Structure 1
């Protein structure tokens, strides 16, 4: 499913030839099945079997409703051109009393569409370094075909955790994993990774790096399992997509540069289920909805589960080899991985990191603090943010989820190239570590540019 930085989703998608599935696909019509036990070597970290009473909403401990026509502060029409209004009404999103969740798009007498979109409360579903993560669901695609299906766009997908605080305005750099998409009642499934920059970039946005259209015999109105597995125990790392347990599409991390891959995958995700109506993707396959489109055909979801294996380390390990000297200037643009930022020419020479807002981060591998004795750190920053827009520049080590060991607050400096060297308090640290510079703000607007930083004894 597309995300709000796009204005048109997959308008450039070419009509792909239907591909015969290599393995036989068994049509499974049973309406309810138990959540499967975790695959070998993995544990279940999240599941919902949707066993609530008929007509009830979702368990809001597990899920949150995304309503309206876009995220607050995000692009209109969810960034995809879709036309429905998402609601939390049990007319659109409800448990059916037989072990399933239903998401039902409805057209009213005036021709307006409503539907449903739910997202996991948790945003920390991740593959640890050296480990694996699997996101799986058993779904019956809406049982509608032909002209009656024009504009239907059911989806099961996941977004990088940094999307949530900023209305996904940092899409696609933070990563999107499309596990199941279908359009216009075609007997098929699409899968994709979205990453990098939009338009174009290393991930061919807004199309993404996709499977193309794959045959999904009997998937309309019948239950099948759809899953993605992110494997960081292999070299190169892999994303693998499965239909009824058959691996039908794989991407290796070498398909893009390391920074783009890491930005898109080396973090938590949240899971999304929705049925959109209209937009760029259905438009690439005939358009819709039209007056002939049938109202009220639901996508049914039997369960959602997330599995995870342990890795070689629960945090980002410092790389081997020659380290960076913590006590020399570290140029901001020399990061090993990053999320949500851009580079621009600095008035002080070279480049600086720009367009930094809440939730963005920079990663610097193998920073050597020696035997310690750190007193503070100083960063060369500039800000042309409006009055009232401010934030924190923070330093964390080994994991972005660890507590900051240093920070300072920043308001405007008088301009985006008006540089100041600002010190921050710092806890003592020794040895080699992966350093994360993270940025936190109560506002969604950009609030800082960073040119360089260093630690001081």
Structure 2
């Protein structure tokens, strides 16, 4: 295999997972043996939870033939990059992603269909979608399971060169930044290239190049699909993040068979925290054409022999959690309040944005809000669960030295204008290196007044300001910063 650098799915160069001669031979032999199987059919519904698991979200793609996936659940990525993000999605892939039903639609038989196409001039189009929710996370002391039943594009050999289907998840801080990969984490639940009868599962984390995840390759493993080939039949691809064991574990399965696992002891504390101590993950489905990974195993792709029109079919995608001290509430709940530009706090927005925090102008405003950004949620009726406030603010001070940001959270239990509980946390000193950081409750309480109690039509006010420093800072909003209040 070439030792040249090749791109990751996002924006940084990545080498394909190492493939030994024996592994390639095994894939080829398995492909010859797995000649039966057929295309398979849609299951028709998401399977019921396994004992002890609770379904948090799902889509079984039961829409009409030619319809787009639910806009309430999914957003469609278009073009050759995110706005302001790396070109060609950072991977060297050649297709233009569209929202055309020709490239992405439900088929009326319980499938989502993502179809790469090529026009007469040789230009490729395809599709990529991601969940609006970006809070899929293993609960403390529990586990997360993300699963999809998928038939890869049914094309092999030279006709498949350049095909790159994938089912994966990215850490929520990636939205609105697009340059913080791989520190925010990436779980590749199913990857395949060039019609090879194999599934790859990969973790990306840490720094690039090198680091604990061996970037730009990531930490991956692959295996032949059980029974019928990956391309000729539906298979179930599953990823689990288990916080109920020590050390915590990450696991990859195909058709219930474990083929890759990693545990927390392999990583330093900062790498693990950057990957896990944020709001959660969003899920993606796409079929790319060409780029680093296909090129690594098939030369320069696509080629004149590559045949367009072979769709990836997705029967369902579902998310379950098990155990722990509760899960991140779904949109519509009022325990996890995302900060919105404009001063509201509530459900996660579809994409990230930012607001500016005014400079402290060289004064010390530690503990006293100074020109704060204020976010308010009202009309909350929930019982106090005995816990404490948690938060994750996405902050950047650029290359400025000695800036520090601070948060105060206040609770008006009945909405009568009286703040019954006010909590001010120690400020967070941002570093002078461009790039976002995470300010969490781990900084500790500076002061607290009053007491908690049940909310009955109550309000929560969140104030964020510059406590020290001589320059403004940037606060992520939308789906990037949140406060989790201790109410069930």
Which TM-score applies when normalising by structure 1?
Answer: 0.72
Match of residue 293 from structure 2: 281
TM-superposition CA deviations, 1:286-307 (whole Å, max 9, x none): 1310000001111110011011
Match of residue 193 from structure 1: 203
SS at match of 1:285: helix
Contact kept, 8 Å, 1:15 with 1:284, in 2: the verdict is no
| Offset of residue 165 of structure 1 | 2.0
Match of residue 440 from structure 1: 475
Cα distance change, pair 368–62 in 1 and its aligned pair in 2 (3 A): closer
Residues 1:354 and 2:411 are matched in the alignment: no
- Structure 1 residues 251-270: aligned runs within 5 Å: 251-267=262-278, 268-270=280-282
Match of residue 407 from structure 1: 464
Cα distance change, pair 440–55 in 1 and its aligned pair in 2 (3 A): same
Cα distance change, pair 107–15 in 1 and its aligned pair in 2 (3 A): farther
Cα distance change, pair 286–3 in 1 and its aligned pair in 2 (3 A): closer
- Structure 1 residues 16-415: aligned runs within 5 Å: 17-18=22-23, 29-33=39-43, 34-166=45-177, 168-211=178-221, 213-216=222-225, 217-267=228-278, 268-287=280-299, 288-312=301-325, 353-355=431-433, 360-363=437-440, 365=442, 367=444, 369=446, 372=448, 405-408=462-465
Tell me, in whole angstroms, the C-alpha distance in 1 between the residues paired with 2:157 and 2:241: 35
Cα distance change, pair 314–105 in 1 and its aligned pair in 2 (3 A): closer
Contact kept, 8 Å, 2:128 with 2:284, in 1: the verdict is yes
Contact kept, 8 Å, 2:96 with 2:126, in 1: the verdict is yes
RMSD in angstroms over aligned alpha carbons? 3.5
Which TM-score applies when normalising by structure 2?
Answer: 0.68
Tell me, in whole angstroms, the C-alpha distance in 1 between the residues paired with 2:253 and 2:206: 24
Match of residue 340 from structure 2: none
Tell me, in whole angstroms, the C-alpha distance in 1 between the residues paired with 2:402 and 2:65: 63
| Offset of residue 45 of structure 1 | 1.1
SS at match of 2:176: helix
State how many pairs are aligned: 366
| Offset of residue 241 of structure 1 | 0.6
| Offset of residue 31 of structure 1 | 1.2
Tell me, in whole angstroms, the C-alpha distance in 2 between the residues paired with 1:208 and 1:342: 29
TM-superposition CA deviations, 1:327-348 (whole Å, max 9, x none): 99xxxxxxxx997879999699
TM-superposition CA deviations, 1:77-101 (whole Å, max 9, x none): 0011101000000000011111111
Tell me, in whole angstroms, the C-alpha distance in 2 between the residues paired with 1:40 and 1:342: 47
Tell me, in whole angstroms, the C-alpha distance in 2 between the residues paired with 1:202 and 1:69: 30
Cα distance change, pair 148–262 in 1 and its aligned pair in 2 (3 A): same
Contact kept, 8 Å, 2:170 with 2:282, in 1: the verdict is yes
Contact kept, 8 Å, 1:179 with 1:192, in 2: the verdict is yes
Cα distance change, pair 12–222 in 1 and its aligned pair in 2 (3 A): closer
SS at match of 1:165: coil
Contact kept, 8 Å, 2:171 with 2:186, in 1: the verdict is yes
Mark the runs of 5 or more structure 2 residues left unpaired by the alignment.
1-6, 28-32, 329-365, 368-391, 404-428, 451-458, 479-488
Match of residue 370 from structure 2: none
Tell me, in whole angstroms, the C-alpha distance in 2 between the residues paired with 1:180 and 1:16: 22
Cα distance change, pair 340–105 in 1 and its aligned pair in 2 (3 A): farther
Moved more, 197-206 or 223-232: 197-206
Contact kept, 8 Å, 1:3 with 1:171, in 2: the verdict is no
TM-superposition CA deviations, 1:225-268 (whole Å, max 9, x none): 00101111110001111100111111101111122112112331
